[in-house]
Structures are given as C-alpha cells and as structure tokens.
Structure 1
Amino acid sequence: MILLSNYFSGIGAKRLSSVEINPGASNQHEFNGINEFRAIFGSDRIIFKGKFMYLDDNPNQIITEDGALTWYDARANHPTRTEYRLYYSTNSIIANSSIGDLIVIGRTGENELAIIVASEGSTAEQQIKWLFGLEEIANRFVLRDFASDDQVLNFAGKHIISTLGFEIEETVPDYLEQLLVKFGSAFPTTAIFSEFARSTVEDVSAIEEPDTTLITWLEREELLFRTLEKYIVEQRLYEGFAGEVDNFISYSLSVHNRRKSRAGHSFEHHLASIFEINEILFSKGRKTERNNKPDFLFPTIENYHNEEFSTELLTMLGVKTSAKDRWRQVLSEADKIENKHLITLEPAISNNQTEEMREQNLQLVIPSSIQETYTENQQSHIIDLNEFISLVKDRQQRN
C-alpha cells in the first residue's frame, strides 16, 4: 500500500499572480499569502532545498531545475507581529510561468520542497488538482496536511506521482524466488512476462469485469517487473562498472528505456488477451494506408482491405499508456474508419483536449476506475473497456 504522505507531508496551492512572477511588478522573489504554511513548516527559519518543475501538455515544455528557498519571519524581532515569507532563488521555472498558472508547494522531506507549476487549463493542472483533492483555486494558498489526512494512492495516483519524477518503490518479494526460477537473472520478452503476470492473478474475469481485470493485470505485472528489476539492478551495481562513468550512464539509460517500452507493450498484450477471451476477432499492428499500423483493427485486416466489407462494421483502437499530446497520432492510422477509438491509462486529461478529441471523431476509452479523475461532463462522453467490447461484439455479430 502506497500512501500520498510517502511523497508529500503537506502542500499549499494557489494561482500565480503578477507580483510573484513579473520582474517589472516586483523583484521580491517571494510568494504571497504564505502565513498559512506555518501548519506545515513550523515557526523556525528553514533553508529548503527546492526542486522546481514546470508542467505542460507539450513534453518539450516540461522543465526542472534545482534551487533554494528560505522560510522565515520577516518580523522576528517584533514583540507581537509575525509576517512569514518564503523567498526563492532566481530560476527559469518561475520566469517561464504565466499569471493564472497553478503552483503547488509541497514538503517532500525535512528540508526539501517540490515547487510544481502547471500550465493553466492543461492536463497536468487537472491531474495535480485531482491528486491533491483541490477544487478551483484562487490567488490565496489552500493547504492540505497529509500527515493528518492521508490517502492511499490508486493506479491513477501512482501514475501522476511517477510523472512528477518520484520513484514508486513497490515490490512483491514473495515472488522473487519464483521469478528467478522461471527467468533467471534476465528479463524475458514483454509478451512472456505479461503472460506470466496474468497467471499469478486469481478471482478476476475478463468477460464479466474486463476493466477491473485489465488494471489488476497491469498492477501485478508492474509489481513483478519492479521485483525482478530490483534484484537484477542490485546485482549489476554490486559487480560495478570498472570505474567507467559512461558505462554506468549507459546502463542507467537502458533501465529507464526498458521501463518505458515495457509499459506500452504490456498494455497491448493484456488488451489482446482480454479480446481473445471474449472471442473477439482482431488484427494487431497490421498495415493500413501509408504503412500506418493501428494497434488494433476489428474484425480483421483482411476485412479492412476488402472493398465489399461495410466500413460501418470496422473499428480501430489506438493504445496509449500516456495520451496528452500524443493522441493525435492515431487520427491518420485508418482512413476508412471515420470514428476512431483510443484507450489510454492517462488520468484527468484536460477538458480542452477531450473536447478536441470529440471534434476529431475520436472516442476516448478509459478503464472505469480511472474515470473518477475526469469531470462529470467529461465522463458523459467517455466509454469504458466493457462498453467498447460490447460495441465490437455487436459489429462482429452483424458481419
């Protein structure tokens, strides 16, 4: 069980104002309305090590920078008055922020802070608000104390925490011996590992509860992968890198890239298994126009290329673990299908982007447990995996 307090003991959130980010308005380098943070920081002067982050839906706009912040009482010598301030060092994160952007200041350690700025109206902003249980935020700090009001991180919560750069250190040591007997000290292919992960899960039904089954399989595979990875990486670190920094960096990058590619492949493998169990015909990764390869075509690629087959009975499903700006890639992958489908594990996609998806005739498919991160209005236009399966089954029966 992973708790939010494992990462943040408390946070404060507000909208950035001109005086805080505009050098022409002020050079104070201080956040306004900060007195409430005494509940999280206490009354003593503290110099914090800060990790500044700017989040936007464009991956190229996500930047991080280290800095320092000082928490102090500007009227420490006054007999009756206090005026607490949080001074921050000059940094590009605040300099690149805009009035109205969401800022969250969170305590991540005794003398460590994370300063997260999310672009107004972005998916990142909606995710941050959902993670910390924030409603609409104005220009005064709203505080959340997770030391006294904690919450368990579910699948969506872990996803968001990971995007913030925090490591989810969750393993299942009881399975290590079984993993080593089956695979040794090496990673098998993603298809084999996904199949093994499914074999360790009981009491789920891909027919009766495909949404729950999918998330359960994904979570189990993640735990098993992290368990095996931890063992293999520790063994490699023990062996050393012969003093070569380049060798260490290369190995570190290979670990990161393996994690990234495995997640997408495992998502597809588990979906394929669910479709097979539900006796749904499909083609996976087959060519349509211009050498495009949709993740899934229903019923088959042969039907797609058959000019006599009704296009109304064709279905395309794109698969993206993380959507954000990448969802547009699926729009050109099957010209004959006007209304396309995209399934993603991305929580709390912004209203702007879900509206654009609808305008582009792209139907969003979100596993039911992740739909809680979306607004009620958004949920009314989203279907879950069970509904998608029913749609494809109906079309298949009409062939």
Structure 2
Amino acid sequence: MCAAMNKGHLSEYFVGVGVKILSAVDAEPKSSNQHEIGTTVDMRAFLGTQKTRFGVRYIWLSDEQETISDDGWATHYDSREGKPRAAEYRFYYPPNAITKIMSVGDTLFLAKRPDESILFIVVPSESTIQNQLLWLFGIDEQPQIKFKVQNFEEEQDDAKLDFVSRFILDEIGIEYEDPNANTLDSIIDRFGLIFPKTAEFSDLARLTLPEVDARADADAALLAWLNHEEAMFRRLEKRVVAERITAGFVQDGDIDVDGFISFSLGVQNRRKSRMGHSFENHLKAVFTAHEIRYDSQVVTEKGKKPDFVFPGSSQYFDDRFQAELLTMLAAKSTCKDRWPQILPEAERIERKHLITLEPGISRSQTDTMRASNVQLIIPQGLHSSYANDQRSWLWNVENFLTVVSERQSLI
C-alpha cells in the first residue's frame, strides 16, 4: 500500500511511526546477543504482516551530543507463525553502534519511509529532541511502554511542513524538497549563483509577502517571513551547491578531499549563521511596524552585547533613567544549552527576555530559565509543541510587544 504524495506535507516523508519508552526487554540483548521489540496491531498497517527484512538507519539524538548514526537491517515477523495461537509480531534487529548506547527508559521512534526503509531513532526521555519529534509527528501524548502510533497513510489532511519542521528533518538526515520550487525560482533568479547579504534576502522575503501584516498579527508575520526566506535560501543554496558539485573537487589532477570537506562545512555553517541573522532582521521589522524604539548589538558591561535593548543605548547608559523601564531581548533561533550565555548581558536589567524558534524545549530547561529570571518568548504557532504547564508561563511575541509598548509610553 502506497500513500499518495502530498507535496510539502509530512506524509511525503513518512508512511507511519510508532513511539514508545524502551523497556528492559526492548533494550537489553537476549542470550543470542540479538534484540527484539514487540510491535502492535496498529503498526502492521505500515510495517505489514508478511515477514519482511528492512533496510534501517539507526540514529541516536540528544540535546547535547552530536548525532550518531549507523546503517543496518531489521526483520519484522510473526514469532507464532504456523502455531495455533494469535499472531505476535516482533521487530528483530542486530547489535550496532546505536543499540550499544541506548538504555532502558530512552524513547524509540520507529518510522517507515515511502521507500520501504526504516528510521530507528533513539532519544533520551523527556528531552527537547523527544518533544520536537513528538511535535513533528503530531503525537500529543507522552510516550509509554506500549507503542503510540501515527499512520500517515490514513491521514486525510496531515501536517504541512514549515521551516521549523524542516530543521527537525535535518536532524534526522532528511532533506526537504520544497513544493513551490518554480515560484521560488522566479523570485531568486536575480541572484544567479551568488548568495546575497542576509539583510537583502530578508527584505526580499517581506516584499514578496505583501499580504502579511505584522501590525495585525506579529507572531504569524514573523513565522511567515522566516518560512518564506528559508525556502528562498534553500532553493538558491541548492542551485549553488549543485553547480559546485558539478564542477568537481580536483586539485593538480588529484581528488581534493580537503576542498570537499571545507565546502561541506561552509554550507552547514552558512545555514546556521544565516538563520540567526534572518531572525534578527525580521524581529526588527516587527518592532518597526509597532513603532517600538530599540538599539541592537549594544555593547554593555564586560563587552557583552545583548541583541536588543529597549528603548535604546542612551537610556541604558543614563544612570538617571529608571532601570524598570529598560528591557533587553536575546534572540536565538535555537537555544540548546547556550541560553545561560544571556544572563550576564545588560547588568542593569534584572529580568532577561529570550525569544527563540526552538519548539518543545524540555521542562527541566524551562524550569531552570524561570528560576534564573529569564522569560522565554515563543511565536504563538510553536506553543503547541510545549506541555500545558509550560504554555501557561510562555509569552508570545504580542505579549512582549505589549510590555515594551507600555514601558515606552511612560518615558
């Protein structure tokens, strides 16, 4: 059974997924040094009922460590085949680099792709990456010992992928193909094979979305602009990278391995640094639309540079200006474990504000932020990736604008 392609949607990349907490039976090898995990009736809708050997990519992800992956195989089969008892299906897999790392209590995502391959993704329980994968796959419940299943072949209107979803796909090694490539090509044709300055790209993203109004809905506008710019960038990047690969990596008649590695690292670093700058550019546009006064990259005590100071640097360095009317905002497209870096920024301002695009930050991290007097701001469209008790504390962009506007009105 093959699902119809729904371009730009999750069903284009996955047929179905099951998620569970690994038990001792799942995670610890049997006497034969082999592993098995029992699957459920719902999973047979995408894993099938015939004995099948799958190609598998085993992946370990955590919030702090680099991704580890290993290619291998696994067999899904009925352990009671030919016996007068109800079927009992198991997912049988050999030991590998990932199974040596995983342990009881970790979370397993077992996902089947349209090409009949399997992703075997293991993450620490209650981690940020676990929350992000649950959000990506549209699974609302926390994992339990029994598989919770999402079957995309049965979904009539599955999730359309935005740029945040694409970052999560990047984490598990899946390259997103934009369904609006032709439209994007007509926009970026002017650049040829040269990357423009990020500010120029950000301006173009906003200009080519004239229907988006930050004054009407700042949260939606910010995400729309970022999504559009990311799509434009990835399309231009694909052109540039394809041209460079076609030219080849040869130096003095030999394969230039160092040149290839350097180029690859440059592509990755450009993606990361560009998103941070893009985020700041569109935040500035939101502030301007709401007539908010600010200065960016102000050098404060000990050479620290908060991303934004409100209403500005002159007020910050004026000892006569009330500290209660000052606001600082740090902008990080992803937080990871870097958010404590903002604590020594702008010492006159006791409460720090941090805006990020990272979905599903773990409860332990957000609890530590609260204890550190950091207010986390998440665009409204990403709030669903957080637990209910976290949402009650989160701010959205409109909340932040309201506070800064009120303080500005008192000056």
Checking the alignment, whether the CA contact within 8 Å between 1:19 and 1:26 is kept in structure 2 is no
Question: How far apart in 2 are the matches of 1:297 and 1:86?
Answer: 54
Question: How far apart in 2 are the matches of 1:351 and 1:25?
Answer: 38
Taking a change above 3 Å as real, the CA distance of residues 216 and 305 of structure 1, as seen in their structure-2 partners, is: same
Runs of 4+ in structure 1 displaced over 6 angstroms? none
- Following superposition of structure 1 onto structure 2, how do residues 12-51 of structure 1 map, counting pairs within 5 Å? 12-23=18-29, 27-33=33-39, 36-51=42-57
- Work out whether 1:189 is the aligned partner of 2:189: no
The two structures, once aligned, show a CA RMSD in angstroms of: 2.2
- Work out whether 1:74 is the aligned partner of 2:86: no
Residue in 1 that maps onto 2:231 = 223
- Following superposition of structure 1 onto structure 2, how do residues 214-253 of structure 1 map, counting pairs within 5 Å? 214-242=222-250, 243-253=255-265
3-state SS in 2 of match to 1:114? strand
Which of 118, 126, 129 in structure 1 is aligned with 2:131? 126
Residue in 1 that maps onto 2:160 = 153
- Following superposition of structure 1 onto structure 2, how do residues 327-346 of structure 1 map, counting pairs within 5 Å? 327-346=339-358
Taking a change above 3 Å as real, the CA distance of residues 77 and 381 of structure 1, as seen in their structure-2 partners, is: same
Checking the alignment, whether the CA contact within 8 Å between 1:18 and 1:25 is kept in structure 2 is no
Taking a change above 3 Å as real, the CA distance of residues 110 and 273 of structure 1, as seen in their structure-2 partners, is: closer
Taking a change above 3 Å as real, the CA distance of residues 88 and 61 of structure 1, as seen in their structure-2 partners, is: same
Offset, 1:213: 1.0
- Work out whether 1:88 is the aligned partner of 2:93: yes
Question: How far apart in 1 are the matches of 2:185 and 2:134?
Answer: 37
Which of 7, 10, 13 in structure 2 is aligned with 1:7? 13
Which of 161, 167, 179 in structure 1 is aligned with 2:188? 179
Taking a change above 3 Å as real, the CA distance of residues 118 and 153 of structure 1, as seen in their structure-2 partners, is: farther
Offset, 1:3: 1.3
Checking the alignment, whether the CA contact within 8 Å between 2:295 and 2:311 is kept in structure 1 is yes
- Following superposition of structure 1 onto structure 2, how do residues 229-308 of structure 1 map, counting pairs within 5 Å? 229-242=237-250, 243-308=255-320
Question: How far apart in 2 are the matches of 1:177 and 1:157?
Answer: 24
Offset, 1:115: 0.9
Taking a change above 3 Å as real, the CA distance of residues 34 and 380 of structure 1, as seen in their structure-2 partners, is: closer
- Work out whether 1:314 is the aligned partner of 2:336: no
Question: How far apart in 1 are the matches of 2:358 and 2:232?
Answer: 22
- Following superposition of structure 1 onto structure 2, how do residues 365-380 of structure 1 map, counting pairs within 5 Å? 365-380=377-392
Offset, 1:26: 8.1
Between stretches 127-136 and 282-291, larger displacement belongs to 127-136
Checking the alignment, whether the CA contact within 8 Å between 1:34 and 1:86 is kept in structure 2 is no
3-state SS in 1 of match to 2:293? coil
Question: How far apart in 1 are the matches of 2:221 and 2:86?
Answer: 58
3-state SS in 1 of match to 2:196? coil
Offset, 1:23: 4.3
Offset, 1:235: 2.2
Count of residues in Structure 1 that have an aligned counterpart in Structure 2:
397
Question: How far apart in 2 are the matches of 1:39 and 1:276?
Answer: 51
3-state SS in 2 of match to 1:120? coil
Taking a change above 3 Å as real, the CA distance of residues 83 and 380 of structure 1, as seen in their structure-2 partners, is: closer
Residue in 1 that maps onto 2:403 = 391
Question: How far apart in 1 are the matches of 2:204 and 2:86?
Answer: 64
Offset, 1:165: 2.5
Question: How far apart in 1 are the matches of 2:31 and 2:308?
Answer: 54
Between stretches 260-269 and 323-332, larger displacement belongs to 323-332
Offset, 1:316: 0.8
Offset, 1:33: 4.3
3-state SS in 2 of match to 1:332? coil
Offset, 1:109: 3.9
Residue in 2 that maps onto 1:54 = 60
Question: How far apart in 1 are the matches of 2:75 and 2:304?
Answer: 53
Question: How far apart in 2 are the matches of 1:105 and 1:37?
Answer: 10
- Work out whether 1:104 is the aligned partner of 2:113: no
3-state SS in 1 of match to 2:355? strand
Deviations 1:227-283 (A, max 9, x none): 222222222233222343332332222222211111111000110121122221211
Residue in 1 that maps onto 2:3 = none
Taking a change above 3 Å as real, the CA distance of residues 90 and 354 of structure 1, as seen in their structure-2 partners, is: same
TM-score by length of 2: 0.90
Between stretches 375-384 and 129-138, larger displacement belongs to 129-138
Offset, 1:385: 0.8
Offset, 1:120: 1.2
3-state SS in 1 of match to 2:43? helix
Question: How far apart in 1 are the matches of 2:267 and 2:327?
Answer: 35
Gaps spanning 5+ residues in structure 2: where?
Answer: 1-6
- Residue type matched to 2:257 in 1? V
Deviations 1:165-202 (A, max 9, x none): 22121153234244233x23201111111111111111
Deviations 1:81-135 (A, max 9, x none): 5443211121232322232221110112444111111211211122222222241
Question: How far apart in 1 are the matches of 2:146 and 2:18?
Answer: 9
3-state SS in 2 of match to 1:106? strand
- Residue type matched to 2:159 in 1? V
Question: How far apart in 1 are the matches of 2:27 and 2:44?
Answer: 23
- Residue type matched to 1:161 in 2? L
Taking a change above 3 Å as real, the CA distance of residues 211 and 197 of structure 1, as seen in their structure-2 partners, is: same
Question: How far apart in 1 are the matches of 2:143 and 2:126?
Answer: 12
Gaps spanning 5+ residues in structure 1: where?
Answer: none
3-state SS in 1 of match to 2:18? strand
